[in-house]
Structure formats: structure tokens, C-alpha cells
Amino acid sequence: MSALRGLRSVLDFIYFAAGVLASLCLITILALIVLQMLARWTGEVAPGIPEYAGYFMAAASFLAFANALNHGSHIRVSILLNAVPRAVARWIDVWCFAIGTAVMWYFVYYGWRFVNFSIMINDISQGQDRTPLWIPQSVMLFGAFVMAIALTDHLIHLLFDGKHRIKRDLVDQSFGE
């Protein structure tokens, strides 16, 4: 049982660390935008900054998925779940997590193939930065992999414990629920 608690701690740390990395990507985007503004104001040229801002935006999005899922920040329409009996709601949840898990593992598989293909053909960006595209694609793939693990984790927990591990943060919820 302590091995499962250790695994739980490791998984929760990975989800949290991915969220922290996502927030650092957002801070980096802010810094890049400020640099671009300064370059424009001083008449300098800062090639590649828009491309890098885009890479960091994709990284921030994918890295934040698992942490957002655990904190209930993803959009979840609970009108149907609240209207049906608890047993039916549980199976609807199982179905949704199973579909989400399958889709995300499918995305990870083809994302892995996409990154390997970019490495194989030495694909570089079209912009002035000439960045090897496997680098930003790998960060996106890592975020998708963490999200696939999180969805699998929630699905297994739902199947064996009867409820998912998504925390409901009342401050972040809309007043429409």
C-alpha cells in the first residue's frame, strides 16, 4: 500500500511540476513580447521572437493540461451528471474518461511519430529563427504524455474507487453551475 502512496505522490508531483513549467512558459512569453516591443521602439530587429512566443504558447498549453484537469479547470458540463442517478452518472464519467484517455494516448502515439519524422528529415522552422522543429514538438509531446497519464490515472481511480480525483475549486467555478 505504501508503494501506491509513493506512486500517488510521484504522479501528483509530475502534474504540479508540469503546471509550474507551463507558468514559466507564460512568463517567458511575456518577456519575449517585452523584448519585441523594445526592439521595435529602438529600431532594432529581433528575428524569431514571434516564432518563439508561439512555441512557448504551445508548450504552456500542453504542459498545463494535466494540472488543470486535477484542479477542475477544464470545462465539464455537469447538467446531465446532476440529473441522472448516481450509478448512471458514474458510468457516464467512466465512458467520458475512457474516450478521453484513448484519444490522448492516440495523440501521444502519433505525436511521437511526428517528432521522430521531424528528426529524421531535419525539419526546421520556416521563420528567421531556423529552429529544429523537433524541440518545440517534444515539449508539446511531453505535455500530452503527462495529460494521457493523468486521464489514465483518473480512469483507473474511477473504476476502482467509484469517483475521480478532480478537485472542485469553488473559487474558479462560474456562478452558472
Q: Kindly state the average pLDDT of the residues 99-116.
A: 96
pLDDT in tens, 127-155: 788 889 999 999 999 999 999 999 999 99
Mean pLDDT, residues 100-104 taken together: 96
Rounded to an integer, what distance in angstroms lies between the CA atom of residue 126 and that of residue 51? 9
pLDDT at position 28, please?
95
What pLDDT does residue 172 have?
47
The better pLDDT of the pair 112, 74 is held by 112
CA distance 143 to 29: 17
Please, are residues 53 and 29 in contact by the beta-carbon 8 Å criterion?
yes
Whole-number pLDDT of residue 68: 87
Per-residue model confidence (pLDDT) at position 118: 93
- pLDDT exceeds cutoff 50 at 25: yes
Task: Output the pTM of the full model.
Answer: 0.84
* pLDDT computed for residue 69 by the predictor: 86
62 has a pLDDT exceeding 90? yes
Strand partners, 132: 124
d(CA 165, CA 157): 7
- Say which residue, 13 or 87, is predicted with more confidence: 13
Per DSSP, the three-state class of 49 is: helix
Contacting residues for 112 by C-beta, under 8 A, at least 6 apart: 141
Domain-wise residue ranges, the chain = 2-161
Average pLDDT for residues 157-166, to the nearest whole number? 80
Residue 139 has what pLDDT?
93
Write down how long the chain is: 177
Grid cell 521572437 is found at 49
Phi, psi angles (nearest 5°) of residue 41: -65, -30
Whole-number average pLDDT of the chain: 87
Where does residue 78 rank: exposed (0-12), middle (13-18), buried (19+ CB within 10 A)?
A: exposed
The average pLDDT across 145-171 equals 83
